[in-house]
Structure 1
Amino acid sequence: MVNDRIRFDEPRSGVQRLAARFGGHAYDTHRHETYGVGLTLWGAQSFHYRGALRTSRGGQVMVLHPDEAHDGHATVDAGFAYRMLYVDPATVSAAIGGNPPFVPEVVADDPVLADLLREAFADFPRSLEPLAVDAVVERLAGRLAARSDDQPRPRSAAVAHRAVACARDFLAAEAHRTVASEELEKVTGLDRFALSRHFRAATGTSPHRYQVGRRLAQAQKMIAEGVPLSDAAAATGFADQSHLTRHFSARFGLTPGRWATLARQS
């Protein structure tokens, strides 16, 4: 029987690595504000995504897009193991000099992407050096662009990348509290609706979901370090433990309690 396990490293320059294995149910329905690009090592895992049930078997790769709901469970008795890169879409956008690419084929046999993922995890969980992160992002962005759909997507105007960067920096710095729309308007020089359009074009998600994601990432780290759930909730701007649990489950597909158990087994 497979012992469920999760290991992850610190986010670095818009990239975080996660390695996990599960023997049955893995994740409830959730979504990320990042790309999720993964390699199934062995076994088979299935997940509901964009209206269909997808299955990734050993050696296959997955490309999940920002803000797309999905779950996860083992498809075979042996369970499954996989590695996943969570990559900031704005980082991908910067690497290719355009909007984040959309890859229509969710699960594929892609030896190029599989080799890239193996290389990115060669020294895991030892931290990637800064130049190694840059190389991973550049190659990953290029591969996603190469596999993206060929249909041009309408663009009403160029993306205000500088304003989006200012908004992201401000939201990250103020992740412990609720930020008012007027504050972002002052920081970026854009009205709230224009900012929302530009922010989603550059990152694939909304300013609010992005900020909640920063708070949850900090809570995730604290819980893995053994901080009590109520303390982690208070330190990361959630009203109480139940408030944290609701958002945590929606973001990671695991309750904070299960995350704490899996993290201690790493």
Structure 2
Amino acid sequence: MTLSNHHRDWLLRAPESKKLERIEAYFSGHGYSAHRHDTYAIGVTLAGVQSFNYRHSKRHSQPGGTIVLHPDEIHDGEAGTSDGFRYRMFYIEPSVIQQVLGGRPLPFIEGGLSSDPRLNIATRRLLSSIDHSLDPLEEEDAIYDVAQALDLAAGNRRGRRLLDYPAAERARLFIHDALDQVITLDGLVQASGRDRWSLSRDFRALYGTSPYRYITQRRLNEARRLAFQGVAWSEVALACGFFDQSHMTRLHTQAFGISPARWLNMLR
């Protein structure tokens, strides 16, 4: 993560990603002059009041809502109070959102602010671990959630589509056969014979979760089994396909609400 500092203001930039840019920043007063960019800017205010001019009106974002600035819309940014404001934001090209939507109209949030809880949850998930690189499957999964939530928050209606169960089952069986390896989205696409977004949609509908979360849960279950047998956590993490022990600990805590070490100590 890179850090830029100017007086009291600061800016953190998350590790580089091919799909999007993620930042966290604090401004004590003036933040940005009027500008526009060709990406969505989607984020949350963490503290204070984040004020900005957008589509001929002054907007004020506070913790709890979601900011959605449409591509090519002029906006600025400043603190709404003397306390300043802190926020997290990600920037994503419309083409990436459109890959999920498959030709549906690009979602537009009137006024640049949304109180839709689905969109807020999806946005916070993508921004929750800004100091870590995103696993490619985790990133694809989060982008899918954001695009669908954005579409719903904009009031766009979706029609029913037929599901390809055989393709989703091929992907699921592939996952079980490759848990000790690096599983990529390209691998799932090749195994299933479906494009990535159709596979993600069908997998969720048929198995109740995304491919990424399914993989993570299977690996965590295996990690628990090995740890209970006495294998050291550092060895467990590598044996189950995690980057390292801290990566496994973070995902275990997200999935179960408790660290793996604490879980094991409580069992003992």
Tell me which interval the TM-score lies in, with the shorter structure as reference length: 0.5 to 0.7
Aligned pair partner of 2:75 in 70, 76, 80:
70
Give the share of equivalent positions with the same residue, in percent: 37
* In 1, Cα distance between equivalents of 2:40 and 2:15: 16
Task: List runs of 5+ in structure 2 lacking aligned partners.
Answer: 1-6, 158-268
Q: Which residue of 2 aligns with 1:80?
A: 85
Deviation at 1:149, TM superposition (A): 4.7
8 A Cα contact 1:9 1:16, kept in partner:
yes
Once the two structures are superposed, residues 18-66 of structure 1 have per-residue CA deviations (whole angstroms, 9 ceiling, x without a partner) of 1111110000011111001110111001111111111101222110011
8 A Cα contact 2:51 2:77, kept in partner:
yes
Q: Which residue of 1 aligns with 2:134?
A: 128
8 A Cα contact 1:13 1:133, kept in partner:
no
Aligned pair partner of 1:92 in 74, 97, 101:
97
* In 2, Cα distance between equivalents of 1:101 and 1:60: 17
Q: Which residue of 2 aligns with 1:107?
A: 113
3-state SS, counterpart of residue 128 of structure 1: coil
* In 2, Cα distance between equivalents of 1:10 and 1:115: 22
User: CA 1:23 to 1:65, structure 2 compared with 1: closer, same or farther past 3 Å?
Assistant: same
* In 2, Cα distance between equivalents of 1:147 and 1:110: 6
Larger Rg belongs to: 2
Task: List runs of 5+ in structure 1 lacking aligned partners.
Answer: 152-266
2:130 counterpart letter in structure 1: F
Q: Give the number of equivalent residue pairs.
A: 150
1:101 counterpart letter in structure 2: P
Aligned pair partner of 1:33 in 38, 45, 48:
38
* In 1, Cα distance between equivalents of 2:114 and 2:99: 25
* In 1, Cα distance between equivalents of 2:155 and 2:16: 28
Q: Which residue of 1 aligns with 2:19?
A: 14
* In 1, Cα distance between equivalents of 2:78 and 2:107: 27
* In 2, Cα distance between equivalents of 1:139 and 1:105: 22
* In 2, Cα distance between equivalents of 1:112 and 1:4: 31
8 A Cα contact 1:45 1:75, kept in partner:
yes
Aligned pair partner of 1:137 in 135, 143, 155:
143
| Superposed counterparts of 1:80-229, under 5 Å | 80-98=85-103, 99-149=105-155
Report the RMSD for the aligned CA atoms in angstroms.
1.9
8 A Cα contact 1:95 1:138, kept in partner:
yes
1:21 counterpart letter in structure 2: Y
3-state SS, counterpart of residue 126 of structure 1: coil
2:106 counterpart letter in structure 1: P
When normalised by structure 2's length, the TM-score is: 0.53
When normalised by structure 1's length, the TM-score is: 0.53
